[in-house]
């Protein structure tokens, strides 16, 4: 039951401004299950606020507009409050009818939250639904009901419901604990003389020179020759993805006329500034973004064209990219599989691995973490497709979540990441932005929510923003104006980059000749002075539970 992280030593890590002298709030439970079980597990948080009384289940009939002539199983919730972060989970079993996607919907007096969690439930065994919600206004009486996503009639059983509230401060404390235990590590520096004798009172200065966690953004060809943009970018980010310049329609707009001039120039910028890069993408399953001339190819001609595409692209940039999005948005589109057969995607991954065996190959799609309303890309749909690829021996080792948000739902984001984390492979937020339908200050606020969720989840290995600069306006969200002065979203990014970096640390060794601190993972430069002697050195701080010991000899 539950991988609940203990809060022992919490106050060693969390500043006094974050919490009071002790934390007695709820501890977030990251437990998730993807397998169907013979019996349901016990409820998370012992049921949370549902533990004090027997949950009141009812049969709920939807409004006339929703009704399909049947009654849905539902859970009655009382006195929910505005702004509270509610984590919800329940076990679901299909009693009769076919297996299918079950959606949880919350209806208050004034608002219907269409989806607060989903699960792909099966006949005869129990499946785990995990999600959550944040209310726009308080509700005295709410109905949480469950229905098949396609609206068809189905009979389901429910068990082990749990509803755990967190205040925003409690949620932040839980995030900070994970950051302090997963993104940071304790370091003890020992200073000795040449005979091994410890030196108390030695002055130490430690500076972080690079970060271990990849945090970056998309760039476009607009960065070429644009020194202000380049300087602004390099000052902040350590990772890059090309917005459109590697896509097939950009490198081969006409059949047989392959041109890598622009990506070559962009790649040179990366090399000069020691930036890591994701390869995006080899193929895009959306017909709208497939080269027009490819639409006219069939059978052997199309097979020859896709083979040439992989060979050309990956042969040229072998070992230049840490990742490849092999077949982009394959949960939503299937251009190549409809023309080349159901195994087309398998062959893409297989061939890509052959050309660049060191690159991590990713599934990459939208609406996996942004919402649970999209039936094509629920968390269980993603997991099912990924397992299918891996079962066929494909080197599928990366989970790419685009992250194009309108209104983020933090507990749902966290629940989806928990479920994906059960697969034990790297998770990246690959294209994060917030809709331009919102004002710039709301964009920035929501962006901060998303970035904090990503950075504080232990299974997220990197974050990429989808904020390539264009003078006429970015895709959805710009970080700067045309003079590279920060917009509100840019200020949020700068604030978090500063918060997630070890600032210059200064101190003196104790009576044992030692000095300790907690630092974010990455590379460090250290300077030690004792009397008229000085020493300079560097060390790496990688993930680990134990204190990292480092000795400097004068």
Residues labelled catalytic: 329, 431
Rounded to 10 degrees, the C-alpha dihedral 365/312/246/387 comes to: 10
Q: Take residue 147 and report the two structure tokens written for it.
A: 């229905």
How far is Cα 122 from Cα 99, in angstroms, rounded to an integer?
4
Pair 324, 352: CB distance under 8 Å? yes
How far is Cα 91 from Cα 126, in angstroms, rounded to an integer?
6
Chain centroid to CA 542: how far? 20
For residue 120, count other CB atoms closer than 10 A to its CB: 20
- Burial category of 517 from C-beta neighbours within 10 Å (exposed 0-12, middle 13-18, buried 19 and up): middle
For β-strands 85-96 and 126-134, DSSP reports them as antiparallel
Pair 443, 400: CB distance under 8 Å? no
3-state per-residue secondary structure call for 98-164 = CCEEEEEEEECCCCEEEEEEEEEECECCEEEEEEEEECCCCEEEEEEEEEECCCCCCEEEEEEEEEE
Pair 198, 191: CB distance under 8 Å? yes
For β-strands 398-401 and 427-434, DSSP reports them as parallel
Q: Take residue 195 and report the two structure tokens written for it.
A: 């005979």
Pair 129, 92: CB distance under 8 Å? yes
What's the chain's Rg over C-alpha atoms?
A: 26
Q: How far apart are the first and last CA of the chain?
A: 51
What beta strand segments (E) does 478-521 contain? 505-508, 514-520
- Tokens 């709920």 sit at which residue? 60
The residues, any chain, with a CB within 8 Å of residue 306's CB and separated by 6 or more, are 283, 336, 340, 344, 348
- Tokens 């749909």 sit at which residue? 381
């Amino acid at each position: 039951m539950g991988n609940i992280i203990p809060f022992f030593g919490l106050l060693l890590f969390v500043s006094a401004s974050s919490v009071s002298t002790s934390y007695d709030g709820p501890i977030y439970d990251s437990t998730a299950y993807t397998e169907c079980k013979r019996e349901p597990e016990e409820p998370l948080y012992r049921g949370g606020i549902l533990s004090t009384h027997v949950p009141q289940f009812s049969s709920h009939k939807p409004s006339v507009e929703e009704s399909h002539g049947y009654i849905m199983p539902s859970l009655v919730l009382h006195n929910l409050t505005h702004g509270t972060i509610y984590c919800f989970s329940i076990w679901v079993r299909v009693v009769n009818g076919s297996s299918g996607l079950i959606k949880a919907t919350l209806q208050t007096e004034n608002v219907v939250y269409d989806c607060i969690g989903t699960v792909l439930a099966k006949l005869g065994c129990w499946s785990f639904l995990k999600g959550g919600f944040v209310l726009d206004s308080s509700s005295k009486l709410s109905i949480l009901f469950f229905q098949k996503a396609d609206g068809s009639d189905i009979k389901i059983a429910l068990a082990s419901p749990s509803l755990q509230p967190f205040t925003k401060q409690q949620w932040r404390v839980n995030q900070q604990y994970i950051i302090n235990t997963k993104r940071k590590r304790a370091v003890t520096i020992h200073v000795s003389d040449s005979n091994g004798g410890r030196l108390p009172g030695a002055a130490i200065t430690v500076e972080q020179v690079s970060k271990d966690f990849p945090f970056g953004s998309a760039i476009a060809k607009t960065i070429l020759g644009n020194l202000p943009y380049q300087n602004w970018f390099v000052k902040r980010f350590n990772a890059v993805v090309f917005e459109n310049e590697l896509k097939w329609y950009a490198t081969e707009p006409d059949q047989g006329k392959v041109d890598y001039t622009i990506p070559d120039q962009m790649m040179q910028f990366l090399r000069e500034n020691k930036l890591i890069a994701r390869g995006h993408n080899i193929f895009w399953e959306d017909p709208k973004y497939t080269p027009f001339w490819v639409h006219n190819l069939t059978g052997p001609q199309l097979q020859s064209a896709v083979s040439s595409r992989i060979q050309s692209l990956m042969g040229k940039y072998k070992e230049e990219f840490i990742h490849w999005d092999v077949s982009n948005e394959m949960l939503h589109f299937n251009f190549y599989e409809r023309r080349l057969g159901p195994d087309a995607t398998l062959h893409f991954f297989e061939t890509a691995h052959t050309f660049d065996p060191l690159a991590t190959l990713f599934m990459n799609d939208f609406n996996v973490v942004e919402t649970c309303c999209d039936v094509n890309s629920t968390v269980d749909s993603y997991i099912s497709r990924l397992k299918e690829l891996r079962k066929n021996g494909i080197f599928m080792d990366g989970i790419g979540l685009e992250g194009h948000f309108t209104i983020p739902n933090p507990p749902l984001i966290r629940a989806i990441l928990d479920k994906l984390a059960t697969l034990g492979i790297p998770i990246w937020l690959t294209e994060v932005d917030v809709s331009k339908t919102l004002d710039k200050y709301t964009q920035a606020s929501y962006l901060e929510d998303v970035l904090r969720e990503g950075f504080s989840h232990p299974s997220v290995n990197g974050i990429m923003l989808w904020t390539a600069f264009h003078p006429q306006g970015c895709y959805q969200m710009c970080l700067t104006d045309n003079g590279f002065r920060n917009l509100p979203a840019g200020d949020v990014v700068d604030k978090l980059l500063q918060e997630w970096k070890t600032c210059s640390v200064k101190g003196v060794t104790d009576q044992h000749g030692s000095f300790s601190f907690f630092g974010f993972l990455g590379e460090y430069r250290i300077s030690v002075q004792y009397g008229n002697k000085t020493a300079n050195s560097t060390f790496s701080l990688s993930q680990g539970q134990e204190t990292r010991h480092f000795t400097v000899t004068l």
